[in-house]
Amino acid sequence: MNIGMLNPARHLVGRLFLWFWLTALATAGIAVWISKLTDDTIEIGSITPRHSQMLAQLSQRLERTPIMGSTLPRKLSRLSQKLPLQLIAVAVDTGEIVRSDNSPLPPPAQKHLLNVVTQQAPIVIKQRNFLLIGPQAFVYQSRPYVLFLAERGPPIKPQKLLFGIISVGVVVSMLLSYWFARTLVRPIQQLRQASKKLAEGDWQARAHEPTKRSDELGMLARDFNNMATQLELLWRGQKRLLGDISHELRSPLTRLQMALGLAHQQNINLPTLKRIEREADRMEDLIGQLLTLTHAEAAPAKMQRVTMIDLFDNLCQDTQFEAQNSGKNFEYSDLPDQVVSANPALLCSAVENVLRNAIRYAKSQVWMWVTIEHNGWQVVVEDDGPGLSADDQRQIFAPFYRASLARDRSSGGVGLGLAIARAAVSAHQGSIQASSRDSGGLRITLYFPFKSQTA
């Protein structure tokens, strides 16, 4: 049995459990620490001989006749300059507090000081970082005082200490939480980006960094990469198969057409020969469209800068001529003089297939509009034919799909024209969709974003 499998950090559920468990322990530890910091317990101890002697000597020096102009604060300040502790004098009759540095005492320290003014023998009072030694009685200018020794600097206020601890705790927990969230979200985002690229046709898309993890996210990334590899192999196999079949069919088709030519010369059963010739032409058209579809989906299109007039002007004129020969009318809007990045052959093939499909099934009228949008441009082709159901509108761009209205072989379609159009539009990072006209018929919309087209 692999010992590493018992490590909870190797699994996502284990990481979540450890994180929240350690967070709870840290919260409990901080709460205990804060409770100790805010504890007002007072420790009273005995004074050391050294401090006792120091208090006696200082009180004697304070009782000496003061120099003219000297005050008690100045005298306390002068005596405390060479001492590691501060000197505090308290008037016994009024409770007035005089410090060597003239700064006021915090309220808790002042309270403790006044409570032990009447103490007979000197003691030591400790509370967190507060230390007080005394009292030692002395008389200054015929007025009774008591003398205390205290630590230099006022003790930190509990409110400020608590606020500082809470602030540090909030910042640290915020940083740790953000780091933890990033470790979970980052591989998910990379998987999402890779799956989006794969859905857009980038068969090389892989999630590399998450595969280094040993938890469930790492396993998911490795499974995703395996799936993407299999999809890429299937896609390449399909394209290679279509290309090989198309090329292999060309040789017997050529020999069949040569045999038809010889049969025509010998006047052998002309109706049968015409039927064979018609089927051969249909096969030739199918092979040509298969090659076009394979080429449109096989590699990224090479773009160039071209105006819409250069793209569609000749195509619109040819379509108008073809529609007239079919007894139908074709109208198109003025073409914008807009420069776009496109593959002219591929894009014209897409629009041409859509137009031929519209002419084939229109009753009498076909329209085309080319318009500029905010972030792109679009080509809209409409006809007044019988239209399609909502289900057919979603599926007509699939290869070899033929709607129920177009299943008759006399229509001349093989189900690849709109699939070629979709492949060409996808090569331009655009979109194509079918919808119904309000007055009947079918509308095909080809949309191309400006930002996605690179020269």
Query: Read out DSSP for 74-98?
Result: HHHHHHHTTSSEEEEEEETTT--EE
Q: What is the pLDDT of residue 190?
A: 83
d(Cα 435, Cα 273) in Å, to the nearest integer?
Answer: 42
d(Cα 47, Cα 49) in Å, to the nearest integer?
Answer: 7
Quick one: 140 exposed, middle or buried, by C-beta within 10 A (0-12, 13-18, 19+)?
buried
d(Cα 219, Cα 42) in Å, to the nearest integer?
Answer: 59
| Contact by Cβ (8 Å): 391, 339 | no
Question: pTM, whole model, 2 decimals?
Answer: 0.44
| Domain span(s) for CATH 3.30.565.10 in the chain | 300-449
**What backbone torsions phi and psi does residue 82 show, to the nearest 5 degrees?**
-105, 15
**What backbone torsions phi and psi does residue 190 show, to the nearest 5 degrees?**
-65, -40
**What backbone torsions phi and psi does residue 234 show, to the nearest 5 degrees?**
-65, -40
Quick one: 444 exposed, middle or buried, by C-beta within 10 A (0-12, 13-18, 19+)?
buried
| Domain span(s) for CATH 3.30.450.210 in the chain | 43-156
Q: Which two tokens stand for residue 327?
A: 């007894």
| Contact by Cβ (8 Å): 141, 66 | yes
SS3 201: coil
Strands 365-372, 329-332: pairing kind: parallel
**What backbone torsions phi and psi does residue 9 show, to the nearest 5 degrees?**
-70, -10
> For the chain, how far is it from start to end, CA to CA, in angstroms?
57
Q: What is the pLDDT of residue 137?
A: 87
DSSP track, 158-180: HHHHHHHHHHHHHHHHHHHHHHH
Q: What is the pLDDT of residue 367?
A: 94
Of the candidates 57, 94, 95, 96, the one whose C-alpha atom is nearest the C-alpha of residue 79 is 57
User: Topology of domain 300-449, per CATH?
Assistant: Heat Shock Protein 90 (3.30.565)
Strands 97-99, 123-127: pairing kind: unpaired
Q: Which two tokens stand for residue 88?
A: 């505090």
- What CA dihedral angle connects 101, 104, 106 and 110, to 10 degrees? 90
| Contact by Cβ (8 Å): 155, 109 | yes
d(Cα 23, Cα 5) in Å, to the nearest integer?
Answer: 24
Class of CATH domain 43-156:
alpha beta
d(Cα 132, Cα 150) in Å, to the nearest integer?
Answer: 5
| Tens of pLDDT, residue by residue, the chain (455 residues) | 455 555 655 655 566 666 666 776 676 666 666 666 655 566 778 888 888 888 888 888 888 766 655 788 888 888 877 777 788 888 888 888 888 777 777 676 677 778 788 888 888 877 666 677 888 888 888 888 988 888 754 445 555 555 666 666 666 666 766 677 677 777 888 888 888 888 777 778 888 777 777 777 788 888 888 888 888 877 777 667 666 666 666 666 676 777 767 776 766 666 666 767 766 776 676 666 666 666 665 555 678 899 999 989 999 999 999 999 989 999 999 999 889 988 888 888 889 989 988 998 899 999 999 999 888 999 999 999 888 888 888 888 877 676 654 434 445 455 677 887 888 888 888 899 999 988 888 999 999 998 644 44
